[in-house]
Structure formats: C-alpha cells, structure tokens
A = this chain, B = another copy of it.
C-alpha cells in the first residue's frame, strides 16, 4: 500500500460520500478531505476533480495511486485492500444479503430522492418534488423493513456489522427531510439507533464535516 495520504472528494450532505466516510473510519484509514460543493458549478467543474471523475460525482477516492468512484465499489475495494475489520460476512448467503440490502438502498431508493431530482421536480410544479421523494422513500422503506425482518440481528445482516449498515444512516436522514413517517419501520429504527452509538458512524455524520455550514 502507498504511504501517500488518501484524498476523499466529498460533500457534507452527500449520501454516497457519507457511506464511504463510515467505511474509511471503520478501517481506520486517515485521509485528506477535499470538499466539492455540488451546488456550485465552479466547484463541480474543478479540473483536478473532473480528471479523476468525469461523472463529477462524489465520493471520489484517491488511494494507492487509483481514482475510485461509486460508493459501493469503493467500499468493496477498501474491504479487499484493508480486510480488517471485514465489511462483508464470510458466508456466501450472508454476503449476498448484505449486498442486496445495500443495492436496495443505493439503486432502489437513493437515486429516486436525490437532492438534484427533488429540486428539478419542484421547479416543474411546486410540491411535486416533495410528493415524489416521499413516495419513493416510503415505497422503498416498506420493502427494506421486510428485508431486515428476514435478515437482521443486531445489525442489518445478523450479528456482524457489514456494508449493508453503511447505507442506512444517510437514507434515514433524507427520509426525515422528506417527512416520511418512520413509525411503521421498527426494525429500521432499531438498527439505526444501534449504529448511531458507534463512534466511527458519528465521525462520518454530515454535521461534523469540514464543509458543513456553521450553525
């Protein structure tokens, strides 16, 4: 492994960057935080950033001479390059469940309630973005609750913290912004409460990032 400090292009409120910040914290990897303001064209078009990720998306992680993109791909890389503590179970069935829960959130819920989409739809018709995001998060959480009833223990998949858990805090954070009623999801809430007590999850929270607005 290279001795150069990894660099994370991040945005405090980005759900995708949040997941990777948790993984880096759990693996004990120190990194330099470089903020990209997703609402500033100048910041997003920073040539140094775009060269590493032409999709202009965060997170982008520079590590061991590589430019890595897409949160779940980055987390899988970190787990292969830095195996301890593991973020995937050993058993093939549990690995599949951990990945399925992750993808249910990352491809099944997250893209349909992104901040940019919310804005675009509210501009189309005032309130339509609010309706839309609440609708898709609610639909996604109904299925997520059932998935977690099937597979969870203390964590999303049994008794071991895994990649699945890394996706939970950000989607719940957004659900609250969209005023989703969380009472029908006791399993989601229980696991979220457990995760909120873990120092590495606390260190990855948007509010404590260098680019978070000062309150």
Contacts and interface: CB of A to CB of B under 8 A. Distances in A.
Interface string A124-150: 110010000000000000110011000
B54 A147 contact: yes
Interface in A67-82: 68-74, 76-77, 80-81
A157 to B, nearest CB: 12
A55 interface: yes
Copies of this protein in the complex: 2
A106 to B, nearest CB: 5
Contacts of A80: 92, 95
Dominant secondary structure at the A interface:
helix
B55 A108 contact: yes
A44 interface: no
A119 interface: no
A105 to B, nearest CB: 10
Interface stretch (A27-35, A96-104, A168-176, A184-192): A96-104
